[in-house]
């Protein structure tokens, strides 16, 4: 029986003339794991908010059509019975927790439902036990890690025992390990407790295979609805980026089978093994033509200790040259962000030195370095406060006493922001906001660009756009240094990889050396070809190999 | 960040009702008494309890600041108040103030008021470091849910805003905003981007938070109150001691024993007054005594 039924649902946000949801018709049966995919602003979040009654109750706007929960029209349900049926976990753990301690947070929803104390105690005990939160019951929430906070948010919703669990990009602000943990919990809840799960997620390689059904959305409409395998084929045929890299690879070259996991992919490839004469032509990394040999940033024996006594960087040696595209990877607290801050001059080395264009950062202020070192932080909102995009760019120029010789228009055009020049940046989508923040950095024409977790919360299309922009900058001779947990992004766009752990650089080299034969720091493509073909890292390499495999197979069939 | 840190002693494990009752009684008595011996008794009692709660290190800065303030109060009172008959110093005539005349009574009055200030700041120190704010808020949430939630939200968001300010400042500096150069006015003006970003981001966050609260049924009807705090014999003993001190204090005040006449000449101490001050002080050191016993005797630990 359908637990959710949506009939002709159309919705406009207040003061918007474009529908956020356009004639949606959908039925979801109990116990299903539904994955909702699509680009930024396609209506995914709006749809799940309509299921939880937040639209239109919280947002207002114009609403047409009907949503039924277990046969009852949602508008006819009182709010208590609605929140008992649908639990919602949001994107940012920081912005959904209201109490100061874990136990009180988990009990918050139960108090709102007016449950007796004895029942609340039982529910809190059960849910914190199940999500391994018992050890943090009295923990102060601001001191928990992002993953723990998101677990608390999940626990506070689960304590209300909802029949349907709706999650809006719950892992987008988390590191991969914490993200995996949340998704594993969600899968367990679906499999072991039969809870209906509706998940909106961008990193599809983590969850595509978990879903029973995938809905692809665009412009407020459901474009395709099917099982993951059929969605993968449809997406490859329609050039939609919203499938995991592996499925995109196989479906893209027209392979007869489409795997959703590395395990399935390797099973398929084994049928072709041994690969006769198939050796990967490892592409030599070409340095950008504009690149020179001068050293833009020279880090020698850098040690850094925080006032708290924590030794965050130990004996770091690194050179950044024009045309470099380096990605720094490593666990949380490995010292990656501290290293970036030492390069920008925000932090000064304890021992050793950091030289930017031969100037010791100890003797130069951050503001003086700002025109040479561009820094894009994790949250683009930290940059945006002016009424228009154009003014944001002008603000950077005026800070650095630079004149606008047409650079603003050039950067806006390059980042496809010209049409938004007079728009308030806070009215833009997350991907567009990030481009505005990047534009406000690039307008000073820095020679080195540092980016801290730039792909966090971005969908595949936006990631690809960002990657292309960075490649263009690299080709112009700018040095790009990115800190990220996103192995797929690093594999596709970086030139070299630096691995950090506990404040030291433990390894560094070309991405073909660093991202292959690794359990954790390798993209899906490398894991697929591991021990079958050497040094495969990018989608392009994978495509080439699969195409050759298909040709070999065809020839064998013809000859046979 | 939260100043409170859980410590392994009886005082940190008290029921919030016992802790709040103790603090309230101290504040009431500090306002009721003007006798320096009574005030000193209160200070000794609070000090002993703070030390027993393992927060001496945290109390030290409060003591230093308060001692500075006491000196100021004492000096100002001595210079401005001409009352008192025991003249210690006859100074020159100063415009506005008139003739400077420092009396022993004025100095003693300043010291008395200073001790009162010290008692109140010490009790706030005790509240900050030895009582979990959440537990206290929870205790009062039965009476005023919305205001309690507002206080809880502020406690929750304050560390987040500090982190935001730090991060936004770094980002804007990397964008060339010169925060520490130029005139004072220029520096204030340069901080505007940081404040603007903070305000805009906080507004967005408050919207998201309200949405999360709505999704969890906030405002959907009468709320209940979740609590797991249990009253133990130790809590009853402290409650009893606090009530006993309050009653004794009120009785002493009605007898006129807790008041003290500073002017025109310092009054002498009477034995009856001192005995009563001793009883109140001993009653208010009950938490420290229990805490000490809790640590030393496992049997007592299991009983209270």
Domain A2-241: CATH architecture, name and number where available: 3-Layer(aba) Sandwich (3.40)
B254: pLDDT confidence band, cut at 50, 70 and 90? very high
Q: State yes or no: pLDDT of B181 exceeds 70.
A: yes
pLDDT in tens, B84-138: 888 888 888 877 777 788 899 999 999 999 999 999 999 999 999 999 887 888 8
Q: Give how far A118 is from chain B: nearest CA, Å.
A: 9
For residue A123, what is the nearest residue in chain B, using CA coordinates?
B226
Contacts of residue B142 in chain A, CB cutoff 8 Å?
none
Q: Do A140 and B2 touch (CB under 8 A)?
A: yes
**Which pLDDT score, from 0 to 100, does residue A286 have?**
53
Q: Give how far B235 is from chain A: nearest CA, Å.
A: 20
pLDDT in tens, A288-332: 555 556 899 999 999 999 998 999 999 999 999 999 999 999 988
Identify which of A297, A336, A335 has the alpha carbon closest to the alpha carbon of residue A480: A297
Contacts of residue B228 in chain A, CB cutoff 8 Å?
103, 121
Contacts of residue B213 in chain A, CB cutoff 8 Å?
98
Q: Which of B176, B213, B217 sits opposite A396 (nearest CB)?
A: B176
- Spatial contact of A443 and A476, defined as CB atoms under 8 Å apart: no
Q: Do B216 and A384 touch (CB under 8 A)?
A: no
Q: What CA–CA distance (Å, rounded) separates B294 from B304?
A: 8
pLDDT in tens, B36-48: 999 999 999 999 9
The DSSP symbol for A136 reads: G
**Which pLDDT score, from 0 to 100, does residue A560 have?**
57
User: Which portions of chain A are predicted below pLDDT 70?
Assistant: 274-293, 557-560
**Which pLDDT score, from 0 to 100, does residue A287 have?**
53
Least trusted range by pLDDT, from A285-299, B178-192, B214-228 = A285-299
**Which pLDDT score, from 0 to 100, does residue A187 have?**
94
Q: Do B178 and A112 touch (CB under 8 A)?
A: no
What's the number of CA atoms in the CB half-sphere (13 Å) around residue A55?
24
Other residues' Cβ atoms within 10 Å of the Cβ of residue A398: 13
Q: Do B6 and A138 touch (CB under 8 A)?
A: yes
**Which pLDDT score, from 0 to 100, does residue B48 have?**
97
**Tokens matching residue B239:** 């409650």
Residue A11 burial (CB < 10 Å; 0-12/13-18/19+)?
A: buried
**Which pLDDT score, from 0 to 100, does residue A66 have?**
95
Q: Do B224 and A120 touch (CB under 8 A)?
A: yes
Q: How confident is the model over B239-259, as a mean pLDDT? A: 93
Q: What CA–CA distance (Å, rounded) separates B30 from B249?
A: 10
**Which pLDDT score, from 0 to 100, does residue A461 have?**
85
Q: Do A54 and B227 touch (CB under 8 A)?
A: no
Which candidate in A85, A89, A108, A344 is best for mutational testing of the B interface (most B CBs within 10 A)? Answer: A108
- Look-up of token digits 């920008």: A344
Domain borders along chain A are 2-241, 297-529
B29: pLDDT confidence band, cut at 50, 70 and 90? very high
**Tokens matching residue A303:** 């040690």
Contacts of residue A366 in chain B, CB cutoff 8 Å?
173-174
Q: Give how far B114 is from chain A: nearest CA, Å.
A: 35
For residue A209, what are the contacts with CB-CB under 8 A and spacing of at least 6?
A228, A244, A260, A261
Q: Do B156 and A379 touch (CB under 8 A)?
A: no
**Which pLDDT score, from 0 to 100, does residue A272 have?**
77
Contacts of residue B171 in chain A, CB cutoff 8 Å?
375, 377, 382-383
Q: State yes or no: pLDDT of B223 exceeds 60.
A: yes
Mean pLDDT of chain B: 89
* C-alpha dihedral sign at A398, A403, A409, A414: negative
Q: Which of B1, B174, B228 sits opposite A142 (nearest CB)?
A: B1
Looking at CATH, the fold of the domain delimited by A297-529 is given as Rossmann fold (3.40.50)
Q: Give how far B34 is from chain A: nearest CA, Å.
A: 39
Contacts of residue B160 in chain A, CB cutoff 8 Å?
94, 142
B148: pLDDT confidence band, cut at 50, 70 and 90? confident
For residue A143, what is the nearest residue in chain B, using CA coordinates?
B1
Other residues' Cβ atoms within 10 Å of the Cβ of residue B143: 9
Q: Do B224 and A100 touch (CB under 8 A)?
A: no
Count of helix runs (H) and strand runs (E) in chain A? 21, 20
**Which pLDDT score, from 0 to 100, does residue A511 have?**
92
Contact with chain B for residue A384, Cβ under 8 A: yes
The DSSP symbol for B260 reads: -
- Spatial contact of A222 and A48, defined as CB atoms under 8 Å apart: no
Q: What CA–CA distance (Å, rounded) separates B258 from B279?
A: 13
**Tokens matching residue A72:** 């009852």
Count of helix runs (H) and strand runs (E) in chain B? 12, 2
Query: Same fold for the domain at A2-241 and the one at A297-529?
Result: yes
Q: Do A90 and B226 touch (CB under 8 A)?
A: no
Q: Do A109 and B217 touch (CB under 8 A)?
A: yes
Contact with chain B for residue A101, Cβ under 8 A: yes
Q: Do A396 and B215 touch (CB under 8 A)?
A: no
List the alpha helices (DSSP H) in chain B.
16-32, 36-52, 56-80, 104-130, 133-141, 145-174, 184-190, 192-215, 233-254, 271-284, 286-296, 298-303
Q: Which of A103, A153, A399 sits opposite B176 (nearest CB)?
A: A399
Which candidate in B173, B174, B200 is best for mutational testing of the A interface (most A CBs within 10 A)? Answer: B174
Contacts of residue A111 in chain B, CB cutoff 8 Å?
223-226
User: How does strand A325-330 pair with strand A496-501?
Assistant: parallel
Q: What CA–CA distance (Å, rounded) separates B190 from A421?
A: 24
Q: Do B216 and A83 touch (CB under 8 A)?
A: yes
The DSSP symbol for B290 reads: H
**Tokens matching residue B26:** 């101290």
B227: pLDDT confidence band, cut at 50, 70 and 90? confident
Other residues' Cβ atoms within 10 Å of the Cβ of residue A312: 22
Q: Do A98 and B170 touch (CB under 8 A)?
A: no
Contact with chain B for residue A548, Cβ under 8 A: no
């Amino acid at each position: 029986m359908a637990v959710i039924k949506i009939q002709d649902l159309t919705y406009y946000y207040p003061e918007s003339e474009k529908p956020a949801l356009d004639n949606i018709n959908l039925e979801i049966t109990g116990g299903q794991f539904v994955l909702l995919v699509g680009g930024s602003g396609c209506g995914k979040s709006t749809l799940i908010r309509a299921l939880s009654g937040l639209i239109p109750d919280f947002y207002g706007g114009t609403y047409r059509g009907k949503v039924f929960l277990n046969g009852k029209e949602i508008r006819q349900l009182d709010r208590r019975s609605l929140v008992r049926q649908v639990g919602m976990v949001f994107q940012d753990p920081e912005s959904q927790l209201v109490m100061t301690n874990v136990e009180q947070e988990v009990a918050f929803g139960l108090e709102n439902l007016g449950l007796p104390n004895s029942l609340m105690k039982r529910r809190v005990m059960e849910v914190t036990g199940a999500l391994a939160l018992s050890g943090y019951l009295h923990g102060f929430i601001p001191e928990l890690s992002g993953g723990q906070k998101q677990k608390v948010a999940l626990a506070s919703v689960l304590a209300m025992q909802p029949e349907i669990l709706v999650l809006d990009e719950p892992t987008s602000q988390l590191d991969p390990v914490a993200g995996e943990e949340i998704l594993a919990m969600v899968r367990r809840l679906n499999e072991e407790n039969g809870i209906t799960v509706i998940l909106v997620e961008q990193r599809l390689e983590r969850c595509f295979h978990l879903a029973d059904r995938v809905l692809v959305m665009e412009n407020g409409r459901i474009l395709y609805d099917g099982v993951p395998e059929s969605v993968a084929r449809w997406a490859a045929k329609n050039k939609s980026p919203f499938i995991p890299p592996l499925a995109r690879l196989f479906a893209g070259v027209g392979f007869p089978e489409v795997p959703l996991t590395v395990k399935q992919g390797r099973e398929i490839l084994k049928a072709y093994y041994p690969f006769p004469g198939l050796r990967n032509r490892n592409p030599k990394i070409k340095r950008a033509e504009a690149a020179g040999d001068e050293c833009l940033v020279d880090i020698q024996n850098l040690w850094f200790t925080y006032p708290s006594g924590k030794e965050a960087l130990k004996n770091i040696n690194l050179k950044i040259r024009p045309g470099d595209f380096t990605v720094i990877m490593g666990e949380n607290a490995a010292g990656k962000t501290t290293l970036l801050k030492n390069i920008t001059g925000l932090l000064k080395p304890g021992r050793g030195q950091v030289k930017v264009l031969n100037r010791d950062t100890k003797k130069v202020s951050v503001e003086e370095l700002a025109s040479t070192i561009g820094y894009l932080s994790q949250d683009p909102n930290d940059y945006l406060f002016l009424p228009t995009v154009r003014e944001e760019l002008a603000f950077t120029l005026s800070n650095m006493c630079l004149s606008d010789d047409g650079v603003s228009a050039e950067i806006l055009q390059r980042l496809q922001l010209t049409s938004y020049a007079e728009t308030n940046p806070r009215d833009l989508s997350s991907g567009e906001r990030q481009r505005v923040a990047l534009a406000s950095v690039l307008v000073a024409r820095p020679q080195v660009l540092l980016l801290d977790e730039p792909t966090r919360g971005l969908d595949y299309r936006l990631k690809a756009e960002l990657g292309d922009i960075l490649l263009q900058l690299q080709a112009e001779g700018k040095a790009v240094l990115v800190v990220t947990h996103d192995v797929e992004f690093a594999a596709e766009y970086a030139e070299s990889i630096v691995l950090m752990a506990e404040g030291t650089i433990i390894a560094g080299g070309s991405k073909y050396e660093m991202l292959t034969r690794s359990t954790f720091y390798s993209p899906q493509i490398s894991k697929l070809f591991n021990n079958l073909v050497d040094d495969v890292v990018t989608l392009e390499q994978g495509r080439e190999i699969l195409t050759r495999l298909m040709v070999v197979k065809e020839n064998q069939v013809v000859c046979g | 960040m939260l100043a409170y840190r859980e410590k392994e002693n009886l005082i940190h494990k008290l029921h919030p009702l016992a802790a709040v009752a103790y603090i309230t009684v101290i504040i009431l008595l500090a306002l009721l008494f003007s006798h320096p011996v009574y005030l000193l008794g209160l200070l000794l009692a609070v000090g002993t309890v703070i030390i027993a709660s393992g927060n001496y290190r945290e109390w030290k800065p409060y003591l230093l600041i308060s001692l500075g303030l006491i000196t100021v109060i004492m000096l100002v009172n001595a210079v401005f108040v001409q009352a008192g008959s025991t003249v210690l110093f006859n100074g020159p005539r100063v415009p506005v103030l008139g003739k400077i005349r420092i009396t022993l009574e004025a100095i003693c009055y300043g010291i008395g008021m200073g001790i009162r200030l010290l008692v109140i700041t010490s009790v706030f120190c005790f509240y900050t470091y030895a009582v979990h704010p959440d537990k206290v808020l929870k205790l009062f949430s039965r009476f005023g849910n919305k205001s309690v939630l507002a206080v809880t939200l502020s406690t929750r968001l304050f560390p987040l805003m500090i982190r935001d300010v730090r991060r936004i400042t770094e980002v804007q500096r990397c964008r060339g905003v010169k925060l520490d150069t130029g005139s004072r006015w220029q520096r204030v003006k340069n901080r505007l981007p940081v404040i603007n970003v903070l305000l805009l981001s906080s507004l967005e966050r408050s919207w998201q938070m309200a949405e999360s609260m709505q999704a969890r049924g906030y405002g959907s009807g009468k709320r209940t109150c979740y609590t797991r705090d249990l009253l133990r014999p130790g809590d009853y003993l402290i409650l009893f001691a606090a009530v006993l001190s309050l009653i004794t204090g009120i009785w002493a005040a009605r007898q006129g024993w807790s008041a003290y006449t500073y002017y025109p000449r310092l009054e002498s101490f009477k034995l009856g007054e001192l005995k009563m001050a001793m009883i109140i002080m001993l009653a208010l050191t009950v938490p420290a005594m229990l805490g000490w016993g809790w640590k030393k005797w496992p049997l007592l630990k299991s009983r209270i």
